[in-house]
Structure 1
């Protein structure tokens, strides 16, 4: 032990020595840098000037504002920074440990009364009733309560661990940093790369785009039209313009709404502004879902019914005890302490009935089913951010899906187009292009873009990061024309020439970049949707010279655009314009529309994005499931129609319409058209929001996909918002309910299947538990009323309660989904939890079980050759009743696997090893309880004949269930 302590001390000493070394190396502290970005602190500017501005910070932190952290010994460098400045992780919500949860289970008033009564029973039984064995029942009840509490604590602990795991996955987003890096055959300085926000370190150079989250505190030193939303920190909802000279404080947790920028990280984790707030405001997430709320109401109602039944049972038992005592007193006998045992037993039975009747397993079953489904959905590339969305997705009636990356592969390639007025049916050779205008074209592609490529050595291909359309043009530049786009970009992306960048948005359908040339004038590059940009052009390059774009040329280009679009190609116009210095006010354009006109057309490029092979089948499955799929896209209508037909979305009688036409229609006209609307092209964010609103008003349950900042309103407004994990911005993901990690429509269909599975699994459990409740309550009450004694003892009822609330919830709540779920229409929003089919099944099985149990109680003595008047034989008969009751529940659990009158209840049973394991486990434990429970469980040894009869009666639940399903019942 002493040696171990010495080792620990040495380790701590080594860490401290390293920290001292790093402190001397950096000559600053995490706390000092953490205070640089304090909001509303007037001394921030003085602190920044004292340290030497961004350049001084970079020097102190031994990084480079242009290239980022040095490539040499990068891992060691990052590890040291994490050790000294801290990691970019935050304190997690506190979850109770297992023993705290175990202690919390005893706060239940019913359990407290049951424990108190059991202790009284134990004392009276051991001292008055039977000094040798009278203690057994009270002790058995206490042990049963401990087991139930232990299992409940395990469930709650696992639930907490699962939520913690999902929070980690949900909060682990990615961001763009600039670090020195070598890739492929090109040696590039300061290459952008996507890393986890948890891997950000002090000294990193972070690149920001619209919709991205600021991952750590820092100082901005380059910005182009950058604005952020800081409401999370400051409470002010107004967008804040960020510039290196005025407001350069970048605070973690804020969101970029416009523009782009680059900043150096000064504080991470607990030292950042977000971290400081999280330290104070950390809390546990509310996990209740609408279905849980419904079930809690139902559980409360059933619990009240159980309470009334328990009170009636206790009253009947006490009345009978009173008459019995009265008769004895009339016969001259005195009151004995033994009489207290009967009172205590009556109270224990009543309380146990309440414990059994209160179906606390219903909300638990939702949690189990959701946790299981969410874990499995993650394997299917669906990250559920809001638990209720998993349920809602099962009842979705319409999906408004985007096109790019969702229905298509998002693997774009420039395949044909017009270059300097001439049509090429394939990528042109640069030798055939005019050198002067070729330089303008490659400069346009390189600098009017935020995408970048990274070479993958394993498959020897370049991977696109950012816009796939921009990436397709970069691939044309790099792979076909062998041009180094990075060196071109860096040459112009500097403070001397760069003026302004207006990023692409789904509303504008274009993007622009403005540079100052050496002569003091400005060069504008504007690229975007072909038919929109073409209308802004006044000239084009023709025969190697700039020519006026007359109506005939405009019509020819427009026909070419439509022809390419009709074959499924996305088309993009690349243009330029030179303007004089008077157009810009202090190197800033206030009215960009004045710049984006009188453009000169350089090229119209046709970009191919093939449909995913699996999408037509997935669309067909959705339609068979009663879900209408609509394509809502910003693409040209001809491109959209071609892809929609290829996917199976656009039918012969379907309507495809452009956003501006939809926008100008009256509300009533829209509602009449919407049932046949299948494609909405060239749509704006407002069009998508309007469509979602109208669909909701028409009673549809709407799911909508989105990936950009402009999609936030529609994502929030829909019943279920689906963001894209690859192409989606941070803002879109935060606004969504589910993140589709692979951006694939097929994964969206799987969310429908899982959503329906969750809902059905809860109903399966509900059908099972209510049958047990009804039979247990009525049997106990009738036996007490008609003088049969209590065939189901308190400890036996607690075992039954364990079967209902925990084991059955796990078995039925984890049934995996099948494709059969996609062969029926979604449930209506007004559909009750208990439909006609379920009510019929519960009633029929309950009547059958009650008849069997009452027949055994009434005639079992003769059938099994037992004398009910003999105490031992009565115990034996009660054990048969208990065993038959449990086995009927076990076999009925198989019936409950199906709730929609499916003929084959065994279909897929072996695909759920959890169900099979628990089903076999319950039987094995039942055998142990009956054969070895003895006085603890009030059971005796049963012979083979008695086991055979109990098993046969239990098995009868299955064939009778088949005949019960022939009785007509409504599914609503």
Structure 2
């Protein structure tokens, strides 16, 4: 703003303000001018913390306890090299340093990819704003809003920037995020005088607040950090992001593993020191390197980066299936969902409302055709009935903000589908042109979820009078009527007629139709507001009385074809599906039965019943009833709380601004991407781009797959590292038994060198683990019950597999070494370097075999063996890399290896495969045990 400040924006006249902003109240800014302002003033965004410099991001890769251990190993190796005369290059120190750098580079790349994936997902959920530019209504991202834009506001919108109101109709805005005021604030145009506190600036709207009712039009006066929310942002200290439950679990595993490793390393070093006798500095260095090697062997250093990459890749897969998860940590909760509370309209149904019947006092008219294409006709029984039907459909169309458009032969409704249904039916009757020419809208009383009706004031040019047309829930509309249309006459609405009309409504509702009633009344010209809106709620209530009832329509919103299958999949996965809708109970119950949400004996509970229920009754209803109808948004919140108190993990859908509290309270808040308001999208942790219930179930399945894959690579990493720890531990303890001591001639000898252990971690811990993270579904994840939220990622059974696989790896590796060494239990003929190389190779290949076994704790590794090409590529890369480190002279020097002949290779690979066969035997026993338990359960259920 050039001359007007934030404080004076509410006090200057509108004409001066518009001149100051160089904009037009009707046409807004030109697109070129808006682009120039965006370029000069910057995007409409709050300033975030500056990005971490590249050098700090690189340095952060070295801030890890494992890296400290490796650097200690470098120091120890360098000291040993110097003490021994500093001949040649300090190979061990150089190799360890290169491994540290390579690990840092890999971690940096993985973190960068994860950040890019998250940034791409955040871009999908950026809030939008509707503005007028060059006289055209345009939807843009909130970040593109500039000073001088004309912003259009409607119920559910999040206000994109600070602005001064030009027009308002029953506009109310929730400003708690800015002012702390819990109640929504009524807004209206005008000029304020004097110093006005922020909360009392009723002619202004502010960035970050939410429209809870009505419509409005405002000129933007400030964007970005110049807004009132920007002023608040300047005062906020930067807060640390809390770890997700999954991250805390991984951290717990890391700490526990670290403690175990340190304990083992200390025990081994002390044991070796006491038993073998450390007489020289060289022996002391060897013992220290041994301790470091054990620590390096046990810690999966790539785990945090791999976890981030796997989660981000999985969330991108969800996004491709139209489910945008805003927080990576929500994936864990999504896979644990035990209850899905879903809206009906547009989520379980197609949201293409079609009028099927018109009920007036003269009878019933059938309307043919389905969908938004105006193909069909209205079958009226008489001229009197046709006149009534015309007024009903015209009234519904007049009390509507929807538009019916045809684009390339495809018809679509812009706005509320229920309102669009009137427009389609009106075209079928052929009266839409006459309605356009006859009536001019003067003002509007907006629909709200509390009022359950909408009214407009119209000038009837044929009769030269002003009429109020009301459309809404038939029972609500009928309550406010005192007369009824009969042909071209108006007759008093007697109790008998009221009962007849109510019976018509109940009959349509019983046929799974959504019903809407229409009424009107003549209004004095003096009751028309000057500001083109009806902002006074009491005044609106006075106008909507003594109405003349015209009739009601019955609409059908057919269930989505895929919804029934999705409900069945959810039930198979142990997930309960609850329908929560504002529709009539009979309508909701019919759709719920068609979809299998409830059986023929199930019932629908209304909001009135919920209001009457005490806490214990309410809890029982939430536990046992699957259909809730005619509910208010506050009921959703109470249902969520009751289910959570019962130990359920709840996913709740919503689209209206009043749904936001329930979405925030639910474990997984699911916002509708098409019909959902910006406020709801901000409150939800997931956004559906297609508003489809089947997408929720697909996202739950994908969440379970992602969590399964996390367990896969954890099982793989920890069991492989356990194999390294046990190999080094028992290799030292049993050195004399397997011939290591005799072959080396030294008091202290290790089965694997520190550089070899580092190589194993570098080759086997990264690519294969990442490949497991994107593994296709191995087990049927939707055939098991939801995971309890408190269940550990690594439970006792998984620890058992980790130890078992690690023990088999260690046994295979040490047995291979004993097989080739001159001494030991099985006398061989090779020197220590060759035997150690064979053992080293056995351990590497054992981990590569373990990749396939780790895909499932029950299913055979040979099931779907070729479905994961990334996994096959990672294993092939690991095998080729191992051949290189054994056969290339330069790498032989660096890693202390020697060339192997074909016999050595075949024996090493055969011994390594023992891990695969041992796991296949364990899985076979487990499957047999599960089948036996299943047969026993069947017998018990049949009473045998």
- Give the TM-score normalised by structure 2: 0.86
Check 1:435–1:617 CA distance in 2 against 1; reply closer, same or farther (3 A cut). closer
Separation of aligned partners in 2, 1:146 and 1:340: 29
Separation of aligned partners in 2, 1:389 and 1:681: 29
Question: Which residue number corresponds to residue 370 of structure 2?
Answer: none
Question: Which residue number corresponds to residue 5 of structure 1?
Answer: none
Separation of aligned partners in 1, 2:671 and 2:875: 39
RMSD of the alignment, in Å?
Answer: 3.5
Check 1:435–1:775 CA distance in 2 against 1; reply closer, same or farther (3 A cut). closer
Counterpart of 2:349 (choices 408, 425, 446) is 408
Deviation of the 1:236 alpha carbon: 4.2
1:522 and 1:581 in contact (8 A); partners too: yes
Aligned residue runs from structure 1 range 580-729, under 5 A: 589-591=536-538, 592-729=540-677
Question: Which residue number corresponds to residue 448 of structure 1?
Answer: 399
1:215 and 1:253 in contact (8 A); partners too: yes
**1:795 aligned onto 2:755:** yes
Question: Which residue number corresponds to residue 52 of structure 1?
Answer: 16
Check 1:716–1:109 CA distance in 2 against 1; reply closer, same or farther (3 A cut). closer
1:110 and 1:351 in contact (8 A); partners too: no
Deviation of the 1:550 alpha carbon: 2.3
Question: Which residue number corresponds to residue 428 of structure 1?
Answer: 378
Separation of aligned partners in 2, 1:86 and 1:664: 54
- Is the deviation greater in 214-223 or in 886-895? 214-223
Check 1:424–1:783 CA distance in 2 against 1; reply closer, same or farther (3 A cut). same
Deviation of the 1:105 alpha carbon: 2.3
Separation of aligned partners in 2, 1:639 and 1:306: 63
Task: Give per-residue Cα distances to partners, 1:321-373, cap 9 Å, x unaligned.
Answer: 6x252xxxxxxxxxxxxx43443333233223223323454444432221111
Deviation of the 1:953 alpha carbon: 1.7
Deviation of the 1:728 alpha carbon: 0.6
Deviation of the 1:376 alpha carbon: 0.6
Aligned residue runs from structure 1 range 59-70, under 5 A: 60-61=22-23, 63=24, 65-68=25-28
1:446 and 1:488 in contact (8 A); partners too: no
Separation of aligned partners in 1, 2:232 and 2:123: 18
SS at match of 2:216: strand
Question: Which residue number corresponds to residue 228 of structure 1?
Answer: 173
Separation of aligned partners in 2, 1:378 and 1:650: 30
Check 1:837–1:324 CA distance in 2 against 1; reply closer, same or farther (3 A cut). closer
- Give the TM-score normalised by structure 1: 0.84
- In structure 1, stretches of 5+ residues that fail to align are 1-30, 181-189, 326-338
Separation of aligned partners in 1, 2:77 and 2:240: 42
Aligned residue runs from structure 1 range 885-904, under 5 A: 885-899=843-857, 901-902=858-859, 904=860
Deviation of the 1:289 alpha carbon: 1.4
Check 1:207–1:447 CA distance in 2 against 1; reply closer, same or farther (3 A cut). farther
**1:470 aligned onto 2:419:** yes
2:156 and 2:210 in contact (8 A); partners too: yes
1:117 and 1:348 in contact (8 A); partners too: yes
Deviation of the 1:896 alpha carbon: 0.6
Deviation of the 1:731 alpha carbon: 1.4
Deviation of the 1:897 alpha carbon: 0.4
1:655 and 1:676 in contact (8 A); partners too: no
Count, aligned residues: 891
Separation of aligned partners in 2, 1:311 and 1:590: 77
1:517 and 1:523 in contact (8 A); partners too: yes
**1:535 aligned onto 2:535:** no
Question: Which residue number corresponds to residue 270 of structure 2?
Answer: 315
Counterpart of 1:249 (choices 204, 212, 217) is 204
SS at match of 1:556: helix
Check 1:253–1:471 CA distance in 2 against 1; reply closer, same or farther (3 A cut). same
Check 1:434–1:706 CA distance in 2 against 1; reply closer, same or farther (3 A cut). same
**1:962 aligned onto 2:920:** yes
Separation of aligned partners in 1, 2:68 and 2:881: 26
Check 1:412–1:103 CA distance in 2 against 1; reply closer, same or farther (3 A cut). same
- In structure 2, stretches of 5+ residues that fail to align are 193-201, 368-376, 741-748, 934-944
Question: Which residue number corresponds to residue 840 of structure 2?
Answer: 882
Check 1:435–1:218 CA distance in 2 against 1; reply closer, same or farther (3 A cut). farther
Separation of aligned partners in 1, 2:592 and 2:713: 41
Counterpart of 1:122 (choices 72, 78, 99) is 78
1:251 and 1:274 in contact (8 A); partners too: yes
Question: Which residue number corresponds to residue 185 of structure 1?
Answer: none
Separation of aligned partners in 1, 2:810 and 2:765: 21
Deviation of the 1:215 alpha carbon: 1.6
Separation of aligned partners in 1, 2:803 and 2:765: 20
Deviation of the 1:767 alpha carbon: 1.6
1:211 and 1:708 in contact (8 A); partners too: yes
Separation of aligned partners in 1, 2:326 and 2:278: 62
1:421 and 1:540 in contact (8 A); partners too: no
Counterpart of 2:498 (choices 532, 538, 554) is 554
SS at match of 1:911: coil
Question: Which residue number corresponds to residue 288 of structure 1?
Answer: 243
2:655 and 2:671 in contact (8 A); partners too: yes
Aligned residue runs from structure 1 range 94-173, under 5 A: 94-96=50-52, 98-108=54-64, 110-112=66-68, 114-122=70-78, 124-125=80-81, 128=84, 131-132=87-88, 135-170=90-125, 172-173=126-127
SS at match of 1:387: coil
2:69 and 2:296 in contact (8 A); partners too: no
Question: Which residue number corresponds to residue 940 of structure 2?
Answer: none
Deviation of the 1:305 alpha carbon: 0.5
Separation of aligned partners in 1, 2:117 and 2:805: 36
Separation of aligned partners in 2, 1:555 and 1:139: 93
Question: Which residue number corresponds to residue 799 of structure 2?
Answer: 839
1:95 and 1:284 in contact (8 A); partners too: no
Separation of aligned partners in 1, 2:485 and 2:648: 50
2:349 and 2:557 in contact (8 A); partners too: yes
Question: Which residue number corresponds to residue 164 of structure 2?
Answer: 219
**1:372 aligned onto 2:313:** yes
Aligned residue runs from structure 1 range 317-336, under 5 A: 317-319=272-274, 323=277, 325=279
Separation of aligned partners in 2, 1:913 and 1:422: 66
Question: Which residue number corresponds to residue 896 of structure 2?
Answer: 938
1:656 and 1:678 in contact (8 A); partners too: yes
Counterpart of 2:455 (choices 512, 537, 545) is 512
SS at match of 2:775: coil
SS at match of 1:139: helix
Deviation of the 1:377 alpha carbon: 0.5
Separation of aligned partners in 1, 2:825 and 2:271: 29
SS at match of 1:32: coil
Question: Which residue number corresponds to residue 28 of structure 1?
Answer: none
Task: Give per-residue Cα distances to partners, 1:479-498, cap 9 Å, x unaligned.
Answer: 65363699679942xxxx43
Check 1:511–1:349 CA distance in 2 against 1; reply closer, same or farther (3 A cut). farther
Deviation of the 1:200 alpha carbon: 3.6
Deviation of the 1:686 alpha carbon: 2.6
Counterpart of 2:884 (choices 919, 928, 938) is 928
Check 1:646–1:928 CA distance in 2 against 1; reply closer, same or farther (3 A cut). same
Check 1:819–1:897 CA distance in 2 against 1; reply closer, same or farther (3 A cut). closer
Aligned residue runs from structure 1 range 723-802, under 5 A: 723-787=671-735, 788=740, 789-802=749-762
